[in-house]
Structure 1
Amino acid sequence: MAGYDTQVKIGTTEKSKENVVTVLGVVDGDTVDVSFSDGRENTVRLVGVDTPESYGDVNPEEWEGISSEEHLKKWGKKAKDYTTSQLLHREVQLKFDDIAGKVGYYGRLLAYIIIDNTNYNLKLVERGYARAYTEADCELLEELRTAETQAREARRGVWSGLENENQTADNVYISYVHEDAAGNDHNNLNGEYVEITNGSPSSVDMSHWTLSDTADHVYTFPDGFSLSSGAKVTVYTGSGTNTTTELYWGHGTAVWNNGEDTAFLGDDQDHLIDKVSWEG
């Protein structure tokens, strides 16, 4: 995300043979199964971070300012899906933390995952899929806390569920951006989409509101479109039939940059209602 660097900050960037693994499976957004080059298999819990559970119970007390268990469960699944898309069947490097130790309470390895010279643990927090795990110390705790603060302030990812005082004008806000479609983005235009939520107690007329990016691609909401209280609308990049919950930009190419971009939501008077930024 803007203003923070996920590049490796611990240990060497050179891959040491014993710590290069292949991700065999994704248990949760913050837990993966891996295989070492000698055939050994283990489970890795990403050190210093915590994503919502994708199954079972979630605890809103761990997520200050978020009271909805349903919201946390949704983002637990999104975090797992994201980790699957980023890590499954990929070769990554494990970096261990001298403070946290190498093995956790349940016999799982505790590690930072390094992929493409980027600390994936930090990236999860920065993109709003995880919080800094403050219940235990680690070498990068302050960096993780800073990344969480930035994600909270931007209401990015799971933090889109913060209570109303942290939401924007009229409580209409960008609740999720899926900028990285499966496969080639240009061949899967509806794999790109933006979710917008109305958290206000009444319907909001969004006629002629706009959704845009940093390259001045602009989508204009259709005349007469209204978003009901508590409802969500998904704006897809490609073509389709508009409904009350799905709108289609009709753009011929991918819009949202996977590496770095900002989604801007504006009203019909060109007032900025919300924005969400990210870096790859």
Structure 2
Amino acid sequence: MRIRIAAPLALAATTALAGSLLLAAPASAAKHRSGVHLGTIQYDSPGKDTRSTTSLRAEWVEIHNYTKSTVQLKGYKLKDNTGYTYTFPKYGIGAGKTVKVHTGKAKNSAGHVYWNRGSYVWNNTGDKARLIKPNGTLLDSCAWTKSGTGVKNCH
């Protein structure tokens, strides 16, 4: 008799635990499936670091809009550990769209904005990108500790 009662109770407890674990996983995985967040970061531009315009443009950070409407990024800030800061001018990022913030110099266009720096921002051996709202609230961050491939996927 005990075995018949204990087995269904154990099964029910196991099912409840498994169910709660399954529900917890999507919540943490969904963290970057809503709002505006950092995407991929090319912190080490391909080839030698020559400070050429081409090399500086090849260092970038993606910011993705996971919302269902355009988000105005004016006043949002992108910062590194040293304190280098890019402040967005008036720039709307469409629903489901991505904008790349390039370190180098060029004219802003759809999907691309330029920091217009003459030197690199992101350290190849470790750094942290922070996306900060105009009111100073940290929206998202992404860190790396070693060179590896020079690319960090922050999703």
- 2:57 maps to which residue? 190
How far apart in 2 are the matches of 1:221 and 1:256? 18
User: Would you say 1:265 and 2:140 are equivalent positions?
Assistant: no
Q: Which structure ranks higher in relative contact order (CA pairs < 8 Å, sequence separation ≥ 6)?
A: 2
Residue 264 (structure 1) shift:
0.5
How far apart in 2 are the matches of 1:276 and 1:270? 17
Partner amino acid, structure 2, of 1:183: G
Q: 1:202 aligns with which of 69, 80, 88?
A: 69
Q: 1:227 aligns with which of 69, 93, 103?
A: 93
How far apart in 2 are the matches of 1:273 and 1:243? 24
SS at 1:167 equivalent: helix
Structure 2 unaligned regions, length at least 5: 1-24, 147-155
SS at 2:45 equivalent: coil
Task: Give the alignment of 1:1-280 within 5 angstroms.
Answer: 162-163=29-30, 166-167=31-32, 171-185=35-49, 186-187=51-52, 188-222=55-89, 224-280=90-146
How far apart in 2 are the matches of 1:176 and 1:243? 19
Larger radius of gyration: 2
Residue 257 (structure 1) shift:
0.3
* TM-score, normalization by structure 2: 0.71
Residue 167 (structure 1) shift:
2.5
Give the 4+ runs in structure 1 shifted more than 6 A.
none
How far apart in 2 are the matches of 1:278 and 1:227? 26
Residue 270 (structure 1) shift:
1.1
Structure 1 unaligned regions, length at least 5: 1-63, 66-152, 154-161
SS at 2:40 equivalent: strand
Partner amino acid, structure 2, of 1:195: E
How far apart in 2 are the matches of 1:196 and 1:225? 12
How far apart in 1 are the matches of 2:72 and 2:112? 16
- 1:20 maps to which residue? none
Alignment RMSD: 1.7
SS at 2:86 equivalent: strand
Residue 203 (structure 1) shift:
1.1
SS at 1:219 equivalent: strand
The superposition leaves residues 8-36 of structure 1 with CA deviations (integer Å, 9 ceiling, x where unpaired) of: xxxxxxxxxxxxxxxxxxxxxxxxxxxxx
How far apart in 2 are the matches of 1:225 and 1:181? 25
